[in-house]
Amino acid sequence: MATNVVPGADPDAPLPHSVQGIKRDAHPFSRPQLEGLMTKRFFYTQAFEIYGGVAGLYDYGPTGASLQANIISAWRQHFILEEEMLELDTTIMTLSDVLKTSGHVDKFADWMCKDPKTGEIFRADHLVEGVLEARLKGNEEARKAEGGGETGAKKEQAVPAEGGQDDKKAKKKKAKSAIVKLDDAVVEEYESVLAQIDNYTGKELGDLIRKFEIKAPESGNEVSEPVEFNLMFETSIGPTGQVKGYLRPETAQGHFVNFGRLLDFNNGRVPFASAHVGKSFRNEISPRAGLLRVREFTMAEIEHYVDPLEKDHDRFDETAGLTLAFLPKDVQQSGKSDLSHITIGEAVKSGMVDNQTLGYFLGRIHLFLLKIGIDPKRLRFRQHMANEMAHYASDCWDAEIQTSYGWIECVGCADRSAYDLTVHSKKTKKDLIVRKALSEPRVYDKLVPVIEKKLLGPKFKKDAKAVEEAIMDLSEEQLEVLKSHLENGTAKVKAGEQSFEVTPELVKVEKRTIRESVREFTPNVIEPSFGIGRIFYALLEHSFWAREDDKDRGVLSLPSLVAPIKALVVPISSNDKLAPLVKEVSRKLRAKGISSRVDDSSATIGRRYSRNDELGTPFACTLDFASLSKGTMTLRERDSTSQRIGSVDEVIAVIKEMCDGTISWEGACERLPAYSGEQSLD
Amino acid sequence: MATNVVPGADPDAPLPHSVQGIKRDAHPFSRPQLEGLMTKRFFYTQAFEIYGGVAGLYDYGPTGASLQANIISAWRQHFILEEEMLELDTTIMTLSDVLKTSGHVDKFADWMCKDPKTGEIFRADHLVEGVLEARLKGNEEARKAEGGGETGAKKEQAVPAEGGQDDKKAKKKKAKSAIVKLDDAVVEEYESVLAQIDNYTGKELGDLIRKFEIKAPESGNEVSEPVEFNLMFETSIGPTGQVKGYLRPETAQGHFVNFGRLLDFNNGRVPFASAHVGKSFRNEISPRAGLLRVREFTMAEIEHYVDPLEKDHDRFDETAGLTLAFLPKDVQQSGKSDLSHITIGEAVKSGMVDNQTLGYFLGRIHLFLLKIGIDPKRLRFRQHMANEMAHYASDCWDAEIQTSYGWIECVGCADRSAYDLTVHSKKTKKDLIVRKALSEPRVYDKLVPVIEKKLLGPKFKKDAKAVEEAIMDLSEEQLEVLKSHLENGTAKVKAGEQSFEVTPELVKVEKRTIRESVREFTPNVIEPSFGIGRIFYALLEHSFWAREDDKDRGVLSLPSLVAPIKALVVPISSNDKLAPLVKEVSRKLRAKGISSRVDDSSATIGRRYSRNDELGTPFACTLDFASLSKGTMTLRERDSTSQRIGSVDEVIAVIKEMCDGTISWEGACERLPAYSGEQSLD
């Protein structure tokens, strides 16, 4: 599969990093090779494969399900347990009213264009992106032929949309890259557009399509103006057909509608956080990047509720010294992508990151990703640009991980301000607020409207209530204006579409002294939101390599924390005498909670080890005839292939400690002598 | 809330069991009290509560989510790890073709009736059940007034259906019970109908409604004939609207469509099992029994693939000696519900349970339910009756747990035979079979049709292909008949709706000798399927009680294996000197993976203990001034309220062992001396 590449993920470049301190043999990364391994070892596969498959839906097999479960378990440990968050499990099926309030019914949409002649549907931004990237690639090739330079980064390919079942058919229709040299100014313009591609409205995308004469790649037809397509799956709840539901597009709303109960559970105090791991759904127009753009996915979301006046964080010091790779918004808006390597402390101090709590979570996200095996050199934090960010968000950073598809958003970390709790409270008329005792009472003056209801009612009759409400809803500033108008005679009050004239007899605006001993506020919400499937895929790319002497077989250098299986148990031969010992070792590993797998097939020991390397299993226990006579067992480490020897129980104890993270392989080597290959012979 | 009751769950009867060997104070079970606790301590709540709620959808709060996660984790340990099953995570969104093949699109439906005047919708079987139960109750009251006898068991209440948001409104409309004495023969007939209520077709339900003159309970109107309502939520995949999808009603189909890859992963061998924990969806007509009948629920399903000729199980001996409470189908068909208490070995030997594998899983299910805290006296295994069982199933048993709603199906354990794999294979034309080398080749004679295509084609023209296929699909017996007919002249072949006459010139049936060295077969599937939410709720009822001296506060005697929080940490006073020690103990507990919660509120120690009892926390660590001077800590056990004392580290070590299940409370008492209340004073 031909794809554009990014620096560092170039298929011709050596694998740039080494996990766990063990140097890997240099060997070019090949996505088809990784994908082949994923299918062969059943990490994942397209859902309903025997029925032709459905784009954007994937099933995880035994290895993938286990790797995913281990990532989630590490996540729970790192966030929920470590920070004592309140875990939730809310419904996927969501009442339409809730998503109407949150804005999803009206605004959770992508822009799509149609080829009116063929009926093909494209996601508009992907169409622009794909065509411009193809042109840039053609330009590069043209320049290469002349001995010219290189340009640009890319994201995903633009391909035609299909709700349908045949991914392969669509793949053939990818935007082709004609070898045409472009002017330097054009190259620069294309690159600037690509750097801001998430930033355009539908109208702007339509303008770009006309300006750059972008056509449907396969047919060459002009495409229609971009129209909105809501990304939520819709259904009907119950037999009457009268209650509408959507599959949730995020878990967040499930947290917010339960805020009152959560606050009670936390004895009415903030800050605290709720957390939720679960499936969400987005009816993508054109899902075409493997696990990176799917219609059903596992998310892990945290909603951290905080006093808007106190966004400092208790444990900020623990992450303030960490250096991250930041890509702030102003750099992007200038069409560039240079990273700032500074500490979180500096980033918050300079105001680049809005507050300590947000900074703290960026640090915790960084530490989590490293812990499960993401390469820190291929991780950056990109700030959202103004248009890209939800209108209510005050700051938002994505943890982006570099893969062969480009830099991919894997974790979002947004300050959603008080938006969600405010709109739900307003809609349901339920208080979603925190009450905090003030250390000393707050005394202040406030303008208060005083309505003469006995006169107002007869005067406005059926409109009286609306007028009264409109007056009561006026802000301090508006009351100031009303007061001054009334002092000069009459004033106008707008209620709905109508305007009403009020006089000083009907309404007065008085200054009152207010004394408060409790402060009421709607908490702000900081939301770290993890796409588990994207992290899963990025981790596989970062872990995958091949040995120089066995290029056709891959190795998955997954940390033992997340590896699907921790230990392989192999008898050196199929001699029946070894069988009871194999069972015994399996039983002992199971009793320690170490997941293991026996390979007693007739394949050579080397072949069995490599099969194991493909599954990402970090340790192999080999039983031979010395095991019977002396009770020894050898221990092989996957990345270095080096082997040690010890008693069965000691080897198992060492594996347990390595899985728990209390010792490293170096530590294990101090406990167990090297295996020379001879110990088993005498 | 008034409800009918079952023997043993009668609100006036003493709680019949004692978990973990500690006798509980006798106190009547009260469902409203349990429900109040569930909401107060945020175990669960109706989803979208602030929007008025949606019937059949529930959100789990921090305590409930944790209890659920612990049940699932115990399940994984007991089944997946212990039996080395292959775990899957497949999509909820399911291609309609898959569910068409499995039969769900056509048959996964309940019968509903409408009150044509009010528009109210009822689930037909629940309507019949509710009305007859109300009449039986009225009869009982009438007889009680005369000093008469008692009758019958019940399941759920019949209430009108609503897709809608207001559960409370519906509750008012429950079938009322008029105090009317019934003839003995009528009582017997009603009871017989209720015992078989899951067993009726739509037409039969319609007949019962007319025969017993059942009307809409609230309006008194006649209801319409029962019509089918498909219980799957339907939606559309992708932007074209052309690909239809359903939310899966079970995880099973996700296993079956991946069977080929699973078999490969298992090196082509059976038996093996796949397992899947995940959400499924059923658009219930009238969900009205709390967590017991919901529209979105977590399932844990196992599909165990087995050679149809070898349904014995390797580890059968491990469960054969267990005595279960069986309710076989013949007993139910005679309208009774007497249990047989026999061993699994006897049940399989007598043929009551179809085979060893099925029997083995019944035993494993029993052990699992006991392990998490289900009362064995309120657990039975009920066999499906003929009409109740899917047509392809060869045997099916439900683990039913007794609650205040009656006996509730919580685990199904069916032998689905080769049905699913066969239909998917036929539809997709993909082999879903196992190949097994025969120890010696099988040689046998077989009838084979030989078609003279050159003559058959011209003779039947456009129908020729259908006729040919019909002949090739004939069974051995049918070929025998065809052969004898052809020997006597002509024969008829049925292809679709039409019949065709064939002559010996067109077709011959010959006897051939077949020699097979490999046997090919479609494996049979044994399916244990767990409704996690139902088990969760039943466990709460079985764990809930109240102390004689504190009747208003409940105690949840959850085993420490599944308790949401394992240890409470309480400082005896709010003295600042204790704070560092509280932090230290929390940290030590966390480091050992023991989830804990600090209660440093100003409430009395007794009040803090009772709060803790409501959360089901089995252990409390109390820190006092002796803790500072001597490094001691007391340990309180929830059920007995007895207290022991030891060094901080020793107490934590004992808690860890109790959570791991390596010692019991009795074992802990041997390690730690009793606390007299005086040790802290000196």
Judged by CB atoms closer than 8 Å, whether chains meet at B238 and A95 is answered as no
pLDDT at residue B44 in the model: 98
* Percent of chain B with pLDDT strictly greater than 90: 70
Flag whether residue A264 sits within 8 Å of chain B, measured between CB atoms: yes
Protein fold of B110-230: Herpes Virus-1 (3.30.40)
Top-level CATH class of A440-521?
Answer: alpha beta
Q: What is the pLDDT of residue A613?
A: 96
Given CB atoms, is B97 within the 8 Å cutoff of chain A? yes
Which CATH number does the domain A35-88+252-419+526-532 belong to among 3.40.140.10, 3.30.930.10, 2.30.110.10, 3.40.1410.10?
3.30.930.10
**Unique residue bearing structure tokens 């009774």:** B336
Residues of A whose CB is below 8 A from B274: 62
Does residue A601 sit at the B interface (CB-CB below 8 Å)?
A: yes
Other beta carbons less than 10 A from residue B93's beta carbon: 23
Q: Which amino acid is at A153?
A: A
Is B428's pLDDT higher than 50? yes
Closest to B564 in 3D by CA, of B74, B69, B67: B67
**Single-letter code of the amino acid located at B558:** L
Report, as an integer, the average pLDDT of A212-224. 92
CB contact at 8 A, A210 and A155 = no
pLDDT tens, B399-408?
999 999 999 9
Smallest Cα distance from A512 to chain B, Å: 34
Query: Which of these, B470, B425, B423, lies nearest to B107 by C-alpha position?
Result: B423
Residue ranges of A 457-496 with Cβ closer than 8 A to chain B = none
Q: β-strand B323-327 against B379-383: which pairing, if any?
A: parallel
A68 CB neighbours in chain B (<8 A) are 89
pLDDT digits (tens, 9 = 90+) for B63-114: 999 999 999 999 999 999 888 899 999 999 999 999 999 999 998 999 999 9
Residue A503 phi, psi (nearest 5): -120, 165
pLDDT at residue A17, rounded to an integer? 35
The label of the residue with tokens 């709460």 reads B540
A262 to chain B, any CB pair closer than 8 A? The answer is yes
| Alpha carbon of B234: minimum distance to chain A alpha carbons (Å) | 6
A93 touches chain B (CB under 8 A): yes
Token code pair at residue B12: 């006036």
What average pLDDT does the segment A246-265 reach?
Answer: 97
Q: What is the pLDDT of residue B119?
A: 85
B94 CB neighbours in chain A (<8 A) are 48
Instruction: Answer whether A285's CB lies under 8 Å from A112's CB.
Output: yes
DSSP string covering B157-182: PP--B-SSS-HHHHHTTPPP------
- In angstroms, the CA B402 to CA B399 distance is 10
Strand pairing partners for A296?
A281
Residue B527: strand pairing partners: B414
> For residue B609, what are the CA distances in angstroms to A270, B601, B639, B652, B678?
24, 12, 11, 18, 19
Q: How many CB pairs under 8 A join A and B?
A: 247
- Nearest C-alpha of chain A: how many angstroms from B252? 13
B265 contact A CB<8A = yes
* Residue A157 pLDDT grade (very low, low, confident, very high; cuts 50, 70, 90): very low
Choose the closest CB to A86 out of B55, B62, B94.
Answer: B62
What is the pLDDT, as a whole number, of residue A175? 52
Across the interface, of A92, A164, A590, the residue whose CB is closest to B81 is A590
Q: Which residues touch A468 (CB under 8 Å, ≥6 apart)?
A: A451, A453, A456
Minimum CA–CA partner of A57 in chain B? B91
pLDDT tens readout for residues B513-556 = 989 899 999 999 999 999 999 999 999 999 999 998 888 889 99
CA distance A578 to A598: 12
Q: Three-state DSSP class for A264?
A: helix
Q: Which of B165, B239, B247 sits opposite A229 (nearest CB)?
A: B239
Give residue A390's pLDDT: 74
From the list A90, A240, A295, the residue facing B163 with the nearest CB is A240
Task: Pick from A42, A54, A91 the residue to mutate for testing the B interface (most B CBs within 10 Å).
Answer: A91
CA B388 to CA B200: how far, in whole Å? 8
pLDDT over 90 (residue A189): yes
Interface check A532 vs B, CB under 8 A: no
Average pLDDT, chain A: 88
Maximum separation of any 2 CA atoms in chain A, in Å: 111
For domain B439-521, the CATH architecture is: 2-Layer Sandwich (3.30)
Q: Helix, strand, coil: what percent of chain A each, to 5?
A: 40, 25, 35
User: How far apart are the CA of A679 and the nearest CA of chain B, in angstroms?
Assistant: 33
Enumerate the domain spans of chain A: 35-88+252-419+526-532, 92-108+233-247, 109-230, 440-521, 565-671
The predicted structure's pLDDT at residue B489: 86
Residue A314, amino acid: D
Helix (H/G/I), strand (E/B), else coil: B666: helix
The arrangement of strands across the sheet holding B406-415 comes to B86-87, B272-281, B296-306, B524-531, B406-415, B395-403, B379-383, B323-327, B340-343
Please determine, for residue B674, whether its predicted confidence score (pLDDT) is greater than 60.
yes
- Region of poorest pLDDT, from A2-16, A442-456, B575-589: A2-16
For every residue of A354-385, DSSP letters joined together read --HHHHHHHHHHHHHHHHHT--GGGEEEEEPP
C-alpha B407/C-alpha A261 separation (Å) is 32
179-238 in chain A: CB under 8 A from chain B? 229, 233-238
Q: Quick one: pLDDT band at residue B23, thresholds 50, 70, 90?
A: very low
Residues of A in contact with B82 (CB under 8 A): 590
| Unique residue bearing structure tokens 């007034």 | B145
> Could you tell me the pLDDT band of residue A388, with boundaries at 50, 70 and 90?
confident
CATH architecture of the domain with range B565-671: 3-Layer(aba) Sandwich (3.40)
Q: Classify domain B19-91+248-418+526-531 at the CATH topology level.
A: BirA Bifunctional Protein; domain 2 (3.30.930)
CA distance A37 to A43: 8
Q: Which of residues 549-588 of B touch A (CB under 8 A)?
A: none
| A517 burial type by CB count under 10 A (0-12 exposed, 13-18 middle, 19+ buried) | exposed
CATH of the domain spanning A109-230: 3.30.40.230
**B576, two tokens:** 């600042």
Cis peptide before A271, with omega less than 30 degrees from 0?
yes
Q: Which of A48, A119, A267 sits opposite B98 (nearest CB)?
A: A48
CA atoms A306, A307, A309, A315: torsion sign: negative
A-chain residues within 8 Å CB-CB of B297?
Answer: none
Q: Are the CB atoms for A569 and A599 separated by under 8 Å? A: yes
Q: What is the pLDDT of residue A164?
A: 40
Quote the ipTM score: 0.85
SS3 content of chain B, % helix, strand, coil (to 5): 40, 25, 35
From chain B, the residues in CB contact with A258 under 8 A are 45, 49, 59, 61
A69 to B87: CB separation less than 8 angstroms, yes or no? yes
Q: Is B103 on the interface with A (CB under 8 A)?
A: no
Q: How confident is the model at residue A27 (pLDDT cuts 50, 70, 90)?
A: low
Distance CA A652, CA A627 (A): 14
- pLDDT tens profile A635-669: 999 999 999 999 999 999 999 999 988 999 999 99
